[in-house]
Amino acid sequence: MIHSGNRFIPRLFLLALGLMLPLALLAAPAGPVEVQKQPVNVTAIVMFMIFVAMTMGITYWAASRTRSAKDFYTAGGGITGFQNGL
């Protein structure tokens, strides 16, 4: 929750929450619907695992190149202001 010296903000938040809470009753389930079981999508699972493995590999590679706080926060001074702005 936002902390400020103004007590109006928490009260406004609680008022908005109290006014929106009854709207949850309108989101009742639609009723029983027949569900069809889908087959396992092996291609999607393999692609996800490749994505995770590549992400972990890049993270390991980047972590091995970082030696100090300067390397971590400013890429060792190798990033220009223009590149940082992109």
Determine, yes or no, domain membership for 4.
Answer: no
Q: What is the pTM of this model?
A: 0.48
What's the total number of domains in the chain? 1
For 31-67, the pLDDT digits (tens) are 777 888 999 999 999 999 999 999 999 999 988 888 8
**Which residues are CB-neighbours of 10 under 8 A, at least 6 positions away?**
1, 2
- 54: in domain: yes
The reported pLDDT for the residue numbered 5 is 59
Whether residue 72 is contained in a domain is answered as yes
Question: Which of 26-30, 58-62, 77-81 is most confident?
Answer: 58-62
- Rounded CA separation 85/79 (Å): 10
Can you give the pLDDT at residue 2?
Answer: 52
Containing structural domain, residue 45: 40-77
